Structure 1
Amino acid sequence: MDNLTPSPVPPQPAAADAAVVHPGVAPISYLLGTWRGQGEGGFPTINSFSYGEELHFSHHSSKPVIAYTQKTWKLSSGEPMHAESGYWRPKPDGTIEVVIAQSTALVEVLKGTYNAEEKVIKLQSELVGNASKVKETTRVFQFNGGELSYVVQMATNSTSLTPHLRASFKKL
Structure 2
Amino acid sequence: MTEGGPPLHPAIAPLSYMLGTWRGQGEGGYPTINSFKYGEEISFSHSGKPVIAYSQKTWKLASGEPMHAESGYWRPKIDGSIEVVIAQSTGLVEVQKGTYDSGNKVVKLQSELVGNASKVKEVSRVFEMVNGELSYVVQMATNLTNLQPHLKALLRKI
TM-score, reference length from structure 1: 0.89
User: 2:126 matched to 1:146?
Assistant: no
Conserved in 1, the CA contact under 8 Å of 2:134 and 2:155?
A: yes
Matching residue of 1:107:
93
Return the alpha-carbon distance in structure 1 between the equivalents of residues 101 and 123 of structure 2: 20
Partner of 1:24: 11
For the Cα contact (< 8 Å) 2:25–2:40, is it kept in 1? yes
Match of 2:71 among 63, 70, 85: 85
1:74 to 57, 60, 68: 60
Give the match's secondary structure for 1:30: helix
Query: What one-letter code is carried by the residue in structure 2 that aligns with 1:130?
Result: N
Deviation at 1:152, TM superposition (A): 0.2
Partner of 1:41: 28
1:12 corresponds to: none
Structure number with bigger Rg? 1
Question: How far is 1:16 from its partner?
Answer: 5.5
The structure whose residues are more often strand, as a share, is: 2
Instruction: Return the alpha-carbon distance in structure 2 between the equivalents of residues 120 and 160 of structure 1.
Output: 24
User: Which aligned pairs between 1:123-162 and structure 2 lie closer than 5 A?
Assistant: 123-162=109-148
For 1:42, the aligned partner's letter is G
Q: Does structure 1 conserve the Cα–Cα contact (< 8 Å) formed by 2:6 and 2:47?
A: no
CA distance in 2, matches of 1:77, 1:19: 38
Q: Which amino acid aligns with 2:145?
A: T
Determine the C-alpha separation between the residues in 2 that align with 1:65 and 1:158. Answer: 35
Q: What's the RMSD between the two structures over aligned residues? A: 1.1
Provide the secondary structure at the position in 2 that maps to 1:117.
coil
Letter paired with 2:110:
Q
For 1:159 and 1:39, locate their aligned partners in 2 and report how far apart those are by CA, in whole Å. 22
Please tell me the residue identity of whatever aligns with 2:13. Answer: A
After TM superposition, give the deviation of residue 43 of structure 1 in Å.
0.1
Aligned counterparts of 2:3 and 2:146: Cα–Cα separation in 1: 48
Find runs of 4+ consecutive structure 1 residues off by over 4 angstroms.
Answer: none
SS in 1 for 2:63: coil
Give unmatched runs, 5+ long, in structure 1.
1-14
Distance in 2 separating the partners of 1:141 and 1:113: 11
Q: Which residue matches 2:51?
A: 65
Q: Give the total of aligned pairs.
A: 157
Whole-angstrom distance in 2 between the partners of 1:57 and 1:94: 18
Matched, 1:119 2:102: no
Structure 2: distance between partners of 1:171 and 1:124: 25
